[in-house]
Structure 1
Amino acid sequence: MIKIGDFSKLSRISIRMLRHYDEQGLLKPAFTDQMTGYRYYGADQLPEAERIQALRSMGFGLSVIREILEKYGEPEEIEGFLLEKRTELVNQLRETGEKIRLLENTLQWLRKDGTMMDYEVVLKTLPERYVASLRRVIPAYDQESLLWEQLNEEIGPQKVRPAAPCYGLAVFHDEGFRDSDVDVEIQVSVAGSYQDTEHVRFKRVAPIQMASSTFQGSYDQITRANGAVAAWVTENGYDFNGPSFCIYHVSPAQAASPEELVTEVCFPVKKRE
């Protein structure tokens, strides 16, 4: 039999953690002296201790490790646990990457004195346009690509020609921000005359007076750009006058990375009476 101190050195697991494993029913000593309380382990328990440490290093909790050890000898069951953990870690990695990118973008917009850089706001009129339009409720804002894929698929057979300039934009029709089931309309300026398809409508859109701000980089900046437009509208005696929209001057389909995106956030406005 091996004393707990020696087993600790052999397994490279602290005595405190071995006691914890015992309390959790995960790795119980081969023998416990009832008089002294001393714990003793067998050499044949070292492989099990190694398995526990390997599973912990993969991020499994003790309760799940216990389940996995109970399934030891059933490769398909163990593979299921491992595949589930891999998916979880991949998702965590993606989420961490998004957080890091948000931090990097924010740092880029910090001035040396610690304040955020301003976004320039302009008042202008978007001219009348003839557009191909597709409006649908989609699961979330970040799934707007579903609309663009559907639009391109439906208008493709007509060999639709883009107008010059070709505005590609998304209009957000919901009264407020929504976490899911968002009402979005995409429009692309076209030249010529075409027949409506099952979901795409060709129509003329009247000129729109708007306050807008253009930025380069990821969409994480939209809220800050919106704030700049809101401040301008308030300070210059205007009111919001219709659903907001974004013009994609350089869209995800054209950009090799989020840093290359160029987006204009637009809010229809009218002079306050």
Structure 2
Amino acid sequence: MLKIGDFSKLSRISIRMLRHYDEIGLLEPRSTDRMTGYRYYSEDQLPMACRITSLKEMGFGLAVIGEIFKKYDDPGELAKFLEIKQSEVLAEMKETSRRMRLLESAIERLRKDETSMNYNVILKTIPERTVASVRMVLSAYNQEGMLWNYLMTETADQNFQFAENCLSLAIFHDEGFQDSEIDVEIQASVKGTYKDTEHVKFKTVPPVEIASSIYKGSYDQITEVNHAVANWVNDNGYEFNGAMFCIYHVSPAQTQNPEELVTEVCYPVKLKS
């Protein structure tokens, strides 16, 4: 029989951890002296200690290791545990790789332009949602307010409700900047079912993955923000996948002070094939 200190040296597991294993029933000593409380282990418990260490190094938690030991003699069941952990590790590797790309591109942009981090870009998915939509061709960008007016006036008698965490946004369907004949669509997330009107259409919008940047202040900054998002997309292995749009977190309907506006510039994206 081995004292806990000797077993600790042979197994390369600390005394503190061996006591913890005993407390949770993962690796109990072969015997315990009732008078002194000393724990004694057997040499044939060393392989079990080695298995625990090996599984921990693979990333398994102690609770899962306990479950694994219940089925350790069944190779098929053991393989299932290992395959699940393998999938988790692969997902972690993918996420780590993504973070490395983000860091590398951010460092590279800073080397080229010290102001590039003024507009931080993130990747996220906007989930499926039901929206009230108005789409028209306008003669100028500053006429967008007309679309919002149609939205509110034509639906006034329906008493429709905005969704929680409502997204109010404008989608610019043209490929580039237009001096006139601008194809603009506005959307507001709603909950419930409503009837279409002359200009307002209710529809379900599928989820979309976007690269976006939120900024505070006047719309004069939007060109710089567009450049920041475009650079991020190019630097991180993505490509554009749809019409650019802006989410109005704080809009002119809520404040007359341009410095209080909060806008999110969004570009649908997908990984380059």
Equivalent residue for 1:175? Answer: 175
Measured after TM superposition, the shift of residue 255 of structure 1 is: 1.2
Equivalent residue for 1:153? Answer: 153
Equivalent residue for 2:206? Answer: 206
CA RMSD of aligned residues (A): 1.4
Taking the TM superposition and a 5 Å limit, the aligned residue runs for 1:21-60 are none
Equivalent residue for 1:236? Answer: 236
CA distance in 2, matches of 1:158, 1:126: 26
Give the letter aligned to residue 164 of structure 1.
E
Give the letter aligned to residue 195 of structure 1.
K
The gaps in structure 1 that reach 5 residues or longer are 1-112
Contact 2:116 2:228 in 1 (8 A): no
Equivalent residue for 1:260? Answer: 260
Equivalent residue for 1:122? Answer: 122
Deviation per CA, 1:34-73: give whole Å up to 9, x if none: xxxxxxxxxxxxxxxxxxxxxxxxxxxxxxxxxxxxxxxx
Equivalent residue for 1:189? Answer: 189
Contact 2:217 2:259 in 1 (8 A): yes
CA distance in 1, matches of 2:247, 2:145: 14
CA distance in 1, matches of 2:157, 2:145: 20
CA distance in 2, matches of 1:207, 1:114: 34
CA distance in 1, matches of 2:265, 2:220: 12
Deviation per CA, 1:15-47: give whole Å up to 9, x if none: xxxxxxxxxxxxxxxxxxxxxxxxxxxxxxxxx
Say which SS state the counterpart of residue 247 (structure 2) adopts: strand
Measured after TM superposition, the shift of residue 118 of structure 1 is: 2.3
Say which SS state the counterpart of residue 144 (structure 1) adopts: helix
Say which SS state the counterpart of residue 148 (structure 2) adopts: helix
Identity %: 61
Contact 2:196 2:202 in 1 (8 A): yes
Measured after TM superposition, the shift of residue 231 of structure 1 is: 0.8
Deviation per CA, 1:116-168: give whole Å up to 9, x if none: 65210000001111000000011111110011011111111101100011100
Measured after TM superposition, the shift of residue 114 of structure 1 is: 8.2
Say if 1:128 and 1:159 are closer, same or farther in 2 by CA, change over 3 A: same
1:226 and 2:233 matched: no
Give the letter aligned to residue 120 of structure 2.
E
The gaps in structure 2 that reach 5 residues or longer are 1-112
CA distance in 1, matches of 2:238, 2:129: 24
Say if 1:264 and 1:115 are closer, same or farther in 2 by CA, change over 3 A: closer
Q: How many residues align?
A: 161
Equivalent residue for 2:216? Answer: 216
Structure 1 consecutive aligned stretches of length 4 or more whose deviation exceeds 6 Å: none
Say if 1:228 and 1:189 are closer, same or farther in 2 by CA, change over 3 A: same
Deviation per CA, 1:71-90: give whole Å up to 9, x if none: xxxxxxxxxxxxxxxxxxxx
Equivalent residue for 1:131? Answer: 131
CA distance in 2, matches of 1:115, 1:242: 28
Deviation per CA, 1:169-209: give whole Å up to 9, x if none: 00001121101120000000001100111111100000010
